[in-house]
Structure formats: structure tokens, C-alpha cells
């Protein structure tokens, strides 16, 4: 669609808003730097998903 404005996305790393560009190999990041840094964090498990140990007897109270 000609003239269609690409959506504005937020860089997951630095939070910078930028236009979504399908020609940008670093999307959804704004730049190669942000992508590498963010992927590096994943590799180092800095972004570990918080895990809750299976804990019996800790059920939420239901009204």
C-alpha cells in the first residue's frame, strides 16, 4: 500500500521510538548495537524468567 505509514515501535533495549522498517535487520531494535547488547544479555541469562518453585499449600484465596 503506497503511502502507508509504518508503525512506530519501541526498541526493547533502549526504549527509543523508531519506525518499523522491514528493511531493518535489527528490528525490533533500533540499531545493531541495541540488538547485540540485548541478545548478549539473554545469552548471559541476565533476563532470567523469574521462576516460582512449585510450592504446595500456597494457593490463592478464592472468594
The residue (of 9 and 14) whose beta carbon lies closer to Zn ion is: 14
Per CB under 5 A, does 30 bind Zn ion? yes
Rounded to a whole number of angstroms, the minimum distance from the CB of residue 50 to Zn ion is: 24
For the chain, the residue count is 63
Which window, 2-10, 33-41, 44-52, 55-63, contacts Zn ion (CB under 5 A)?
A: 33-41
3-class secondary structure, 32: helix
By C-beta, is 46 or 50 nearer to Zn ion?
A: 46
Q: How many helices (H) and strands (E) does the chain have?
A: 1, 2
DSSP 27: T
Amino acid at each position: 500500500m503506497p503511502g502507508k505509514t509504518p508503525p512506530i515501535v519501541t526498541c526493547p533495549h533502549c526504549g527509543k521510538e523508531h519506525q518499523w522498517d522491514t528493511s531493518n535487520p535489527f528490528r525490533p531494535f533500533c540499531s545493531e548495537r541495541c540488538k547485540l547488547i540485548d541478545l548478549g544479555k539473554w545469552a548471559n541469562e541476565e533476563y532470567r524468567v523469574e521462576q516460582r518453585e512449585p510450592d504446595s499449600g500456597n494457593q490463592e484465596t478464592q472468594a
